[in-house]
Amino acid sequence: MTIDIEFIGDFICPWCYLGKVRLERVREKLLPDIELNIKVKPYVLYPNIPKGGTPKSHFAKKAKRGMGKALKYEAQIENIAFNYRLIERIPYSWEAHRLVWLIEDNDKKYELSKLIFHDYFEKGQDIESSTYLISAAKSIGIDEAILQAFANSDAGTDEVKNYVQACRDEYITLVPYLKIHNMIGVPGLQSAEVLENYIRRVGQKHASAHPKNSIE
């Protein structure tokens, strides 16, 4: 049985990084009974961030009490080492979303998005930089034609813009947000147990409605 999941998130959101790593762990646990086809989708948390980014201090002042402690706790579960000392500015994430959008292979989209999250939150990389993005994409074998389209045109801009607007029209404001086979929407970071439960429920619901068919 294969279940499609749209993973909606922003590369500057630490909860999205946690959610992506956690979903991968759940995917491995569900095999071989359920295979997850994860489709990475864009979201822009702060559309007013200018090109070139904005000082990290602007966001530090807005942080809710206890958020740092909660992030540290969840990061320990997923073996993620956030290193905010290496991050000087909160980047404009649009170009990273555009590059990922241009990649057709869902597994490659997932692999590149995970690498971008890792390099930003754990290494302090400038994920707004086209030089970085192209280098990261090359490291996982993204086709040169895609990189040329990204570097030499605005390919994907309208598509990303339309998708993000569609999310806002659906009142999606909390990310990560998972659309599980267009049956259930799951907002925010959830435990692995909760995610697994939602996915299994979708599988059972579909199996009941289509007893002779797997989800396709």
Q: What pLDDT score was predicted for residue 88?
A: 87
Q: In degrees, to the nearest 5, what angle opens at C-alpha 75 toward C-alphas 72 and 77?
A: 115
Q: What pLDDT score was predicted for residue 66?
A: 63
Q: In degrees, to the nearest 5, what angle opens at C-alpha 14 toward C-alphas 91 and 4?
A: 105
Total tally of structural domains belonging to the chain: 1
Q: Is residue 215 one of the residues assigned to a domain?
A: no
What's the CA dihedral at 194, 197, 21, 8 to 10 degrees?
A: -90
Structural domain harbouring 11: 2-209
Q: What is the CATH number of the domain that holds 109?
A: 3.40.30.10
Q: Is residue 11 one of the residues assigned to a domain?
A: yes
Per-residue pLDDT of the chain (216 residues; tens, 9 = 90+): 899 999 999 999 999 999 999 999 999 999 999 999 999 999 999 999 999 999 887 766 666 666 788 999 999 999 999 998 999 899 999 999 999 999 999 999 999 999 999 999 999 999 999 999 999 999 999 999 999 999 999 999 999 999 999 999 999 999 999 999 989 999 999 999 999 999 999 988 877 776 665 444
Q: Is residue 216 one of the residues assigned to a domain?
A: no
Q: What pLDDT score was predicted for residue 1?
A: 87
0.95 exceeded by pTM? no
User: Count of alpha carbons within 13 Å of 15, Cβ hemisphere only?
Assistant: 18
Q: What pLDDT score was predicted for residue 61?
A: 60
Please check whether residue 71 is in contact with residue 82, taking contact to mean a CB–CB distance below 8 angstroms: yes
CA distance 32 to 108: 21
Q: What pLDDT score was predicted for residue 62?
A: 61
The angle, 0 to 180 degrees and rounded to 10, between the axes of the packed helices 67-78 and 14-30 is 30
Length of the chain: 216
Q: Is residue 214 one of the residues assigned to a domain?
A: no
